[in-house]
Amino acid sequence: MRRGTSARRLDAFSRKRTDRWSSFRFPSCSRFELHGRQTPLRVKFASTCSVYGRAETENGRCDETSPLNPVSLYARIKIQSEQAIVDLADGNFSPTILRMATIYGLSPRMRFDLVGNVLPAKAYHDAVIPVFGGEQYRPNVHVADAARAYIDCLTAPIETVGDTVYNVGSRQQNFRIDELATIVADCFPHADIAYHEDRTDDRSYRVSFERITGDLDYEPQLTIRDHCHELRDVFESGDFDEYTADRYNNCAILEKTDEFETTATNLDHHEPPMRETPISKSA
């Protein structure tokens, strides 16, 4: 599947099912209220750096206090979910919001709808690396380093990580899409970069990770180059020959899942208003 086709499908799917997504997400977040009020609970909520959307900041990088400017339904719902969870914080409920950079890397439920995974896959199998636009910035982090961030937050003192938002990623891996493509091309020299003027994704943001580095001494260890090498090894062993299969694409899976729509339709929900100011740690 072409990257542009995938992005357009996702955008159309999101617009068509705005109410469905909202009705599914918010009751899930509100369930924390039932548990958090009864027993001390450390919750780590998986959010996304996509909440910064198309961002322009004075220092060039978005930190946890930067204005939020979502350009997708996914990011808007993440912001509202953050708000719903943080508003429940008290002595028995101390959530940590982890805004993840774009994740790449091998995983038990592999994803080939993420830029750091699909570009190496296309390079290996199709000998082409498609770039749409290319000037958009995107932070990246390997899934193993992302997992380590959760472990670090779970083992850190609650006084440090409780009621706190962290951007999770690597300062060195804030890449433009065309820079990312160049790295992939260097790892798969038989592949050519194919540039397309039309942009299929308006998100563009560079992100600061100073807070999590300062609080937890967190530094990602793996790089896009490491990932390209690990993917090449699994491709050569015969795995993921059908990397375009629907099972590796979240949008395709949701489009085929009747249970998702049925469940969302039956859920009663109340969608809170968007917060106009970014969430920050309480005093």
pLDDT tens for the chain, residues 1 to 283: 333 334 444 444 454 455 555 554 555 565 555 454 555 578 899 999 999 998 876 668 999 999 999 998 999 999 999 999 999 888 788 899 999 999 999 998 899 999 999 999 999 999 999 999 999 999 999 999 999 999 999 999 999 999 999 999 999 999 999 999 999 999 999 999 999 988 777 889 999 999 999 999 999 999 999 999 999 999 999 999 899 999 999 888 877 775 555 555 554 444 444 554 455 554 3
**DSSP structure string for 16-56:** HTHHHHHHHHHHHHHHHHHHHTTS-B--EEEEEGGGG-B--
Give this prediction's pTM: 0.81
Q: Which domains does the chain have, with CATH numbers?
A: 3-266 (3.40.50.720)
Give the length of the chain. 283
Q: How far apart are CA 75 and CA 204, in angstroms?
A: 13
- DSSP H helices, the chain, are 3-16, 18-36, 73-86, 115-126, 143-155, 158-161, 177-187, 210-216, 224-236, 250-256, 258-266
Nearest Cα neighbor of 4 from 201, 140, 139 is 201
